[in-house]
Amino acid sequence: MAPFRSIYQQSPTRQLVVGVVLLVLAAFYSLVFLLNLAPVYGSAPSHIFHSYGVAIAGALGWFAKDHIDRLSGRRAIYLIPVLASWFPVLQYFLSQQSTALGNPAGAAITEFFALYPLVLLSVACAGKLVQSGLELNQHGDLVAEHIPLLGSYVVYSAGEHLVKAFLSKFIGSTVLLSRAGLQILIAIFYAAAIPSKVLLLAIPSLLFSLTSNVHLTFGHTTTALNSTLGEEGYALVARQDSNTGYISVLDNLEDGFRVMRCDHSLLGGQWIKKRHNYTPPTVKDPIYAVFAMLEAVRLVETAHGGPRVDADSKALVIGLGIGTTPGALISHGIDTTIVEIDPVVHKFAGEYFGLPPNHTAVIDDARSFVDTAQKDSAQYDYIVHDVFTGGAEPVELFTYEFIRGLSGLLKEDGVIAINYAGDITLYPTALAVRTIKSIFPTCRLYREAETSEVGPDFTNMVIFCTKSTSPSQRALTFRDPVPGDFLGSRFRARYLVPRHEVDAGRFEGVEAGGRAVLYDREVGLLHKYQDRGALDHWGIMRTVLPEKVWEAW
């Protein structure tokens, strides 16, 4: 095998190509590394230190490129493919210590040992190749010396954007394009770009990944995963990577419920255990009362106090989850449109949670759908807004502009129900409520339970609103339910009608330095609150499912 120094004796074009490949692969590896952290630490916490760490590692690599060459005798580049093959193994074992390491410390520690060294070494070697390929040296003028640095940054950033676009379309389509499989694929690409005898050191890591990494969706690894989950009382039903995260369906074998997971969050769950002398309801009972509460959007009386007719109604559901609420609306005969950004979530809701097929499915971003629907003058009697991702509410779907767009789709006598999950004592909750009330003049707020059993005051809160402005019509009221409203479910008989009302007045005061409502241009100001909420949610999720279930994913 030709030694590394022979690269410098090849054409400048060849040197530039290898340098560019190293930078693109470093960007690729960085993104894929985050994807493998998310099921254990959550997508939001995994990002907290990521960009800073990668930037520092990249800068250190660039300015240390000459020193690394001298210290290694220009053999440092040989280590890159080997590290790329071994670091996923290290990450695999570090993830199993996530409870002890904590969050976000565990994510940061894992990146420090299994990501930043690869970024540093890739940038250092790529920088040397780019500099040599451009036939520049340390004695060139100041502008010339910065051309490789700026060019390397542009290549890295462009590579990152290209990889994101690629993953959004193809992730999960094959084993090698799963998040665990992509780590193997990147190591193969590194090896192809930098072939050497040192690659023999990567064989044991590759063998481990193919035989023992339960995150790869082979038959034998899935069997091993189910063995681990079985010790915790769970069984894997299905799993697939998708554009919003790692999606899986799990059965609790002892208590008899089924859940859908997205990274380190639960999208919902339903009871599946068959009990003696019990007739299953038309739509299976959810394990969380909030999904039954959302169905109460049907019970809100018209402005004149009359009931609504299901057969003549149209509903729009933003965010599917496992499909409990839209499933109930469909079962009541309501023409229902579901907007869900993740195709796997929609597929699993139908295959494993009984979502009725007779609905209109729109696999798209909610903002894009609302913009298009307004242009088409679409109108709905009911709108259900139920979105939750990455351990936090996506603030982009709680802005003045988005909620106003939903108002434009709601009929004058229609009702909207918005689920907000979070700590209701924190600033973002008050901001979201004020934003909603600035558009919908008549609202009533209900929490899932009277008191929070997890976190400071973390709860699911449903905000029911209408467009009514007349003083005589401001009292939003629910009609008394009839047996048909329950769909044969004792659970709905207990939880359908909201009970724990929250005084909307508590959210009216604007905090010092705060804002009255949230606009699109200001969503970045809430990222620190999202990170805090996601960390709190991570702790809550570790009490809902055993730590080993989260870590094994």
Beta-carbon contacts of residue 386 (< 8 Å; ≥ 6 apart):
294, 317, 318, 319, 321, 325, 418, 419
pLDDT confidence of residue 142: 46
CA torsion sign, 374 to 376 to 379 to 382?
negative
Give the mean pLDDT of the chain.
Answer: 90
**What is the Cα–Cα distance from 327 to 242, expressed in whole angstroms?**
23
Residue type, 35: L
Whether the pLDDT of residue 4 is over 60: the answer is no
**Burial annotation 473-511 (CB, 10 A radius, 16+ → b, else e):** beebebbebeeebbbebebbbebbbbeeebeeeebeeee
Burial 407-424 (b: 16+ CB within 10 A, else e): bebbeeebbbbbbbbbbb
Residue with tokens 């790529």: 126
Work out whether the CA dihedral 176, 178, 181, 183 comes out positive or negative. Answer: positive
Decide: 467 and 407 in contact? Cβ < 8 Å: yes
pLDDT in tens, 453-487: 555 688 899 999 999 876 555 579 999 999 999 99
- Phi first, then psi: what are they for 233, rounded to 5°? 90, 20
pLDDT surpasses 50 at 439: yes
Query: What's residue 65's pLDDT?
Result: 87
- Which residue bears the tokens 């109460």? 296
Residue 205 identity (one-letter amino acid): S
Say whether pLDDT at 513 is over 90: no
Centre a 10 Å sphere on the Cβ of residue 75 and count the other Cβ atoms it contains: 15
Q: Is the pTM of this model over 0.85?
A: yes
Residue with tokens 């400048």: 12
What token pair was written down for 230? 């079985």
Taking the C-alpha atoms of residue 154 and residue 148, their distance in angstroms, rounded to an integer, is 10
Is the previous residue joined to 117 through a cis bond, with omega within 30 degrees of 0? no
> Which residues are CB-neighbours of 18 under 8 A, at least 6 positions away?
7, 126, 129, 193, 194
DSSP state of 519: -
| CA distances for 176 relative to 86, 173, 192, 539, 549, angstroms | 17, 8, 16, 31, 23
Confidence of residue 317 (pLDDT cuts 50, 70, 90): very high
Query: What number is the average pLDDT over the span 448-452?
Result: 80
Nearest to 418 by CA among 461, 458, 367: 461
Beta-carbon contacts of 490 under 8 Å, excluding residues fewer than 6 positions away, are 281, 285
Span 86-91, average pLDDT: 97
Of the candidates 135, 194, 126, 183, the one whose C-alpha atom is nearest the C-alpha of residue 154 is 126
CB atoms within 10 A of CB 2: 10
Amino acid identity at 30: S
* Rounded Cα distance, 311 and 279, in Å: 26
Query: Does 164 score more than 80 pLDDT?
Result: yes
Instruction: Provide, for the chain, the percentages of residues in helix, strand and coil under a 3-state DSSP scheme, each rounded to the nearest 5.
Output: 55, 15, 30
pLDDT at res. 152:
74
61: left (phi over 0), alpha (psi -120 to 50) or beta: alpha
The region that residue 174 occupies, defined by phi over 0 for left and psi between -120 and 50 for alpha, beta otherwise, is beta
pLDDT of residue 26: 94
pLDDT over threshold 80, residue 276 = no
Instruction: Say if residue 129's pLDDT is above 90.
Output: no
Count of residues for the chain? 553
Sheet-wide strand order for 335-340:
360-363, 335-340, 314-318, 380-385, 410-423, 458-466, 442-447, 500-502
Ordered domains of the chain (ranges, CATH): 4-212 (1.20.1250), 289-470+477-552 (3.40.50.150)
Q: Is residue 301 packed enough to be buried (19+ CB in 10 Å), middle (13-18) or exposed (0-12)?
A: middle
Tokens matching residue 463: 């905000």
Give the residue with greater pLDDT, 345 vs 138.
Answer: 345
Q: How many CB atoms lie within 10 A of CB 51?
A: 11
Are the C-beta atoms of 224 and 216 separated by less than 8 Å?
no
DSSP H helices in 232-342: 289-294, 324-331
Crossing angle of helices 12-41 and 76-95, rounded to 10°: 10
Angle at 101 between CA 96 and CA 106, to 5 degrees: 85
Q: Which residue has the higher pLDDT, 412 or 6?
A: 412
**Once rounded to an integer, what is the mean pLDDT over residues 77-84?**
94
Taking the C-alpha atoms of residue 103 and residue 111, their distance in angstroms, rounded to an integer, is 13
**Across 511-523, average pLDDT:** 90
Q: What pLDDT digit, counting tens, does each position of 34-68 carry?
A: 999 999 999 999 999 999 999 999 999 998 988 88
Whole-number CA gyration radius for the chain: 27
Q: For residue range 279-293, what is the model confidence (pLDDT) as tens digits? A: 788 899 999 999 999
**424: which DSSP letter?**
T
Higher pLDDT, 271 or 149: 271
Q: How many CB atoms lie within 10 A of CB 136?
A: 16
